[in-house]
Amino acid sequence: MPTSTHSILNFVSVLRDDFRDYAELCFERFGDRVKHWITLNEPWTYAVWGYDYGENAPGRCSSWKNRACKAGNSAVEPYIVAHHQLLSHAAAVDVYRKKFKGQQKGLLGATLVTWWTEPYSSKTADIDAAKRVLDFIYGWFLDPLTYGDYPRTMRDYVKDRLPKFTKTQSEMLRGSLDFLGLNYYSSRYVKNVETQDPWRISYTSDLHADLLYENWEGQSIGPGGGVEWLRIAPFGIRYLLNYTKDNYKNPPIFITENGVASDDSEPYCDIINDTIRIEFYESHIGNVSKAIKEYNVSVEGFLAWSSVDTFEWSSGYTVRFGLAYIVFYRKNLTRIPKSSLEWLKGKLLGGDSASENCPPSFT
């Protein structure tokens, strides 16, 4: 929606119908070829970074959180935005199932992003906080998509600031996922926070928790992964998959994003010979395999982030997540396979493992 016409009321009243109409057009034009549709990608990111932190578009938040925000309410708007993203998904699924599914036989899902959360200590309050944060990030969307309503913890903590679904809306949402897309990068320790400033309420304060890189003993959740927010914690993807099976009826799952970064300031040959990425994928794919074999989680696909270096939403071109190196300053954007790409190819096809190489970046 153009910024000039954006207001929270416009968002609420227009988004769902426009999204449904846009989705219907896509189904009409491409449904004979596209058999897996993802309606939403990381709705948490859009709601929280755009309406609580105010750091992403459209830059709305309470002024005390971010002076750059000219309007917004971090205590209310993230919940309204998430609510109507969910209703937009439900509307798109409804029109597809009524008008297109019989002939096209496609499947519709949504992609969610979350940390895995570990308690900061063995205290009951920290254990409860770890589960609560998972509800506020993951269950915020997956509970309505599976059961038709928000998690009990959110209803208890947010109270009347949390929108309510009508009976019809709840029925449309319940069971509206044919598959789940899951973006996983890292994990966090969670420490309970007993009280919050009553004059500074926001989605973040509603968590009543701090998300940390180290627990009470100083143990790190994992080593750094090229960007400040990424700590490498491969166990988290397995725990998250097992948790999803136990709590959300074992949906078919596609890992839609999983990856680790290299800082662009590192020496070129170190970026090309990316042993950190090989170790990252070996450990994460191994944990996904364990979830499938030992816990019967229904994982149907795994996508690396990313096939090539790209523009990262919050870091621009300063970090590289790709399996192939892109020479950004050349007009033809030369692609140079990294060691991780050769390793992954060997892993999938049973060929040779990766060997170190350092081709010139100007070829």
For the chain, what percent of residues have pLDDT higher than 70? 94
Q: Is residue 220 part of a domain?
A: yes
Q: Is residue 242 part of a domain?
A: yes
Q: List the single range of 77-81, 105-109, 342-346 with lowest mean pLDDT.
A: 342-346
Domain count, the chain: 1
Q: What is the dihedral of CA 313, 318, 322, 325, to 10 degrees?
A: 140
Q: How confident is the model at residue 248 (pLDDT cuts 50, 70, 90)?
A: very high
CATH code, 183: 3.20.20.80
Kindly report the pTM of this predicted structure. Answer: 0.94
Give the whole-angstrom CA distance, residue 153 versus residue 130: 12
Residue type, 58: P
Structure confidence by residue, pLDDT tens digits, 95-131: 999 999 999 999 999 999 999 999 999 999 999 999 9
Whole-number pLDDT of residue 3 = 53
- The residue type of 66 is N
Q: How many whole angstroms separate alpha carbon 242 and alpha carbon 237?
A: 9
Give the pLDDT score at 363.
45
| 62-70: average pLDDT | 95
What is the greatest pairwise CA distance in the chain?
A: 62
Strands 299-302 and 253-257: parallel
Q: Between 330 and 202, where is the model more confident? A: 202
Strands 335-337 and 324-326, by their bridges, are antiparallel
Is 9 inside a domain boundary? yes
Is 24 among the domain residues?
yes
pLDDT greater at residue 315 or residue 355: 315
In the structure, what pLDDT confidence band is assigned to residue 331 with cuts at 50, 70 and 90? confident
User: How far, in whole angstroms, is CA 153 from its chain's centroid?
Assistant: 21
How much is the pLDDT for 64? 96
Determine the structural domain holding residue 210 and report its residue range. Answer: 3-40+74-349
Q: How far apart are CA 342 and CA 355, in angstroms?
A: 8
* Per-residue confidence (pLDDT) for residue 9, from 0 to 100: 54
Task: Please indicate, yes or no, if residue 190 is contained in any of the structural domains.
Answer: yes
Please give the average per-residue pLDDT across 227-252, as a whole number.
Answer: 98
CB 182 within 8 A of CB 242: no
- Degrees (nearest 5) of the Cα angle 271, 312, 76? 145
- Which amino acids are annotated catalytic? 257
* Interval 255-280: pLDDT, tens: 999 999 998 888 889 999 999 999 99
Q: Please give the sequence-ordered ranges of beta strands (E in DSSP) within the chain, or none if there are none.
A: 36-41, 107-113, 116-119, 179-183, 187-192, 209-212, 253-257, 262-263, 299-302, 319-320, 324-326, 335-337
